[in-house]
Structure 1
């Protein structure tokens, strides 16, 4: 299985570039649902009749439940072996479940009797979570079989980052500049059109991702040749406690994602562009404008990662994102009238906004793209450390902590806007700008991301898996395979 590849050591195995690109679409397939669910608060509160606090609480509680489903999914994934491989069944079943949940949620919740509205909404949201958990667990765990070459692993981040930039950029343009113009508001017609396209595109992406991973979804790529160590639920805590790289990665990326989830939360986007800047359509145009620069930023970051390692690439991106967030806070506090930031009045302030916002979205969003190959690194490090090949468990421990933290955006935004007078409905493009709305928007959109970036920089100081360490890890795993020996084989404990 392992042979010398060009000038690469014999302990590396690779995938064809196009297969890495196709497998990256598995993450894109779930990100599509993440994008359209960003608008669910407007459906639940504006159409189905649930209050702001109830809607936010359900979304937050569901995300916490989502976290608890992850370890179970990871446990099953690590033990699963079928004629169709370990990973592909999870991908297909997960995507079908996601599609079913969305179709049911938006067709039933607003038409059932009001006494059943909340129950139906919660039930459909839980079904969505189950599908999301199944498919996203493969995005993280499947990295380990795709390639272990440190020059190839960052390429997943490149493909993922490019598609994510296009997805969120063009998706925002489609909603803000087309659907909103066509339907006038967040109506059931808008949601039906948006969700239908999302379900179809996500299914196509999943099929392509299955094609991408097929040659590597085989037992010969599942960790050690003698991978007989039993995995138990009680092993979760020792992994989290003893794998320092894993713990630091969780802290850094989870805080980044919390901040970025708030920035991209559609209520905050409406507040920033539709109320503070006075024209929600600007969000679509800006998203389209920054898409190409963000693709370039992703390519630059991945090129940096292939040369200097994933850790240094994340630190570099975080510094850039932090600088942009600080600059945006300063810009909004210094300008007298934020509505002057428009394409009808293009001047230095608007140009600066586009530049800083591009850097924030591009470099700040790189943590989400880089995390998947970094999870593969910490998973290999666990194999090197203990002899256990448990990518499902590793990936879903990360998801568990990650989702507990990122369950907070809906609750944070919901409680925050209710404190400034929006307890029944979320702020919309028809609301008048007040000082409270202005400062709340600046804090949610830019100050919280600043705090997330700072935590990441601190955590990366203690993250041990630089490029040199990963070379040692891969050489050590090969030696274990060749000697049919793992560090804890005799002890069968961590």
Structure 2
């Protein structure tokens, strides 16, 4: 066995390695953002009803969850010259790009009667690729670094990437550039075909998002290059594991049990909150201007990043990851209630913000004139920034916490099963969060949207308001309450993790003496 690069039992990654590795999650999240509009593609191009489209997303998320344990088992058995984790990034990314290209470029050419079966089969292959790459985001955490003060740094980079890419650039680009470009209008300027039902917009998105995701995946492979080696796996020795060992882990590892309970409920509620239809009804219907979505993203993304970095840097690194999740959850509850009261008691149509029409608009000084603001808009932006900061801390810290659970299992039983930890987490997460699209579709169907979902030009109604608030505020509140309950029983405090790392270091030292 090779001698680890660190002598004191703590092995650390370089800052740029953590920064590059965090891009693996960004890569898969970019595809998740692309597929966030899949219900509209199914309705407008494949030709299915709104409820069936929502149910399809649910069934495919279940399939996604089913593939997780099998891929995790393969990861735990893998130890190649190219590493344990990197092969899954490469294979996953290739499958993702090829299958998504087929979905959005070949499906429209299939006879209408055969489009849905064809789409289902290709999408199932897509999910396998998504699972292969996603598992690495969690499984490689423990081999990258076991320093408790370094692990939250991953969450800091991950939060910044996701906020900038997914909550700022993507919404601005879609609402400010693609919607005007791909909306089909008549001579009177009325929209006759929404961009969300235009296959050309999906062709554009797939190619652009696929190329960006591929670049992120390559950088993630580079970030893992030095540390994806056997001497950084658990005790530094290969320990054979079977399905019986998995059963024991599931039955006795309290840390992963509580983390799964916390994160899966949180993911379900966040999936409902961030559902593409909810964003459309929130800004396009209730506030009366879908372009506000891009403006809110542009105005809040950088402040949210700063709050996340400051909060994670102090809370996560100094007080421990468990404490970061608890504080982030409490802050999220308080600020979400503030937004609900503002939307309920105030007049959302009075929201006035600088409208950011694409990237050029973001950089235009005239966009930020004081005349483009209102009191409602300023209040909303303030609460949205606070909410975003606390949410980012609570959600991002979960990924490095899976590495703590993997180390706890090494400490508890001597088994190094990062693939199991990551895919168990993902399995329950996906099974539960798969219900999000169905819940949203059923709630809108209950108020009359049975054949199609609302778009930005749909007239306002009280039913739309309360369904949107139930998903945007109500569901997250339930998830956050479950978070707090689960953390009461989560055993891995900062002090406990220090004890665990000392014990693992002692085990490694004994193994090195034998070799």
| Whole-angstrom CA distance in 2 between matches of 1:417 and 1:202 | 32
| Cα drift, residue 318 of structure 1 | 0.8
- Report the aligned-residue RMSD: 1.5
Provide the secondary structure at the position in 1 that maps to 2:108. coil
Out of 203, 228, 231, the residue aligned to residue 220 of structure 1 is 231
| Whole-angstrom CA distance in 2 between matches of 1:461 and 1:192 | 47
Residues 234-249 of structure 1 aligned to structure 2 (within 5 Å): 234-249=244-259
| Whole-angstrom CA distance in 2 between matches of 1:172 and 1:53 | 25
Provide the secondary structure at the position in 1 that maps to 2:218. helix
| Whole-angstrom CA distance in 1 between matches of 2:149 and 2:264 | 25
The unaligned stretches of length 5 or more in structure 2 are 184-194, 355-371
| Cα drift, residue 4 of structure 1 | 6.3
What corresponds to 2:424 in structure 1?
397
| Whole-angstrom CA distance in 2 between matches of 1:112 and 1:172 | 30
Residues 395-474 of structure 1 aligned to structure 2 (within 5 Å): 395-474=422-501
For the pair 1:197 / 2:195, whether they are aligned, the reply is no
Residues 61-460 of structure 1 aligned to structure 2 (within 5 Å): 61-168=59-166, 169-184=168-183, 185-186=195-196, 187-228=198-239, 230-303=240-313, 304-335=315-346, 337-343=347-353, 346-460=373-487
| Whole-angstrom CA distance in 2 between matches of 1:343 and 1:223 | 51
| Cα drift, residue 461 of structure 1 | 1.3
Q: Is the 8 A contact 1:325 1:447 kept in 2?
A: no
| Cα drift, residue 357 of structure 1 | 1.6
| Cα drift, residue 349 of structure 1 | 2.0
| Whole-angstrom CA distance in 1 between matches of 2:246 and 2:439 | 29
Cα distance 1:359–1:114, how it changes in 2: closer, same or farther (>3 A)? same
| Cα drift, residue 217 of structure 1 | 1.0
| Whole-angstrom CA distance in 1 between matches of 2:4 and 2:126 | 39
Q: Is the 8 A contact 2:329 2:480 kept in 1?
A: yes
Deviation per CA, 1:348-373: give whole Å up to 9, x if none.
32211111122222321333311111
Q: Is the 8 A contact 1:253 1:367 kept in 2?
A: no
| Whole-angstrom CA distance in 2 between matches of 1:233 and 1:66 | 20
| Cα drift, residue 224 of structure 1 | 1.4
| Whole-angstrom CA distance in 2 between matches of 1:235 and 1:66 | 23
Provide the secondary structure at the position in 1 that maps to 2:404. helix
| Whole-angstrom CA distance in 2 between matches of 1:60 and 1:67 | 11
Does 389-398 or 296-305 show the bigger shift? Answer: 296-305
Q: Is the 8 A contact 1:183 1:189 kept in 2?
A: yes
What corresponds to 2:368 in structure 1?
none
What corresponds to 1:489 in structure 2?
none
| Cα drift, residue 2 of structure 1 | 5.2
Provide the secondary structure at the position in 1 that maps to 2:46. coil
Aligned length: 479
Q: Is the 8 A contact 1:227 1:388 kept in 2?
A: no
| Whole-angstrom CA distance in 2 between matches of 1:178 and 1:192 | 15
Q: Is the 8 A contact 2:308 2:392 kept in 1?
A: no
Q: Is the 8 A contact 1:33 1:198 kept in 2?
A: yes
The unaligned stretches of length 5 or more in structure 1 are 486-494
Out of 36, 52, 61, the residue aligned to residue 50 of structure 2 is 52
| Whole-angstrom CA distance in 2 between matches of 1:108 and 1:368 | 36
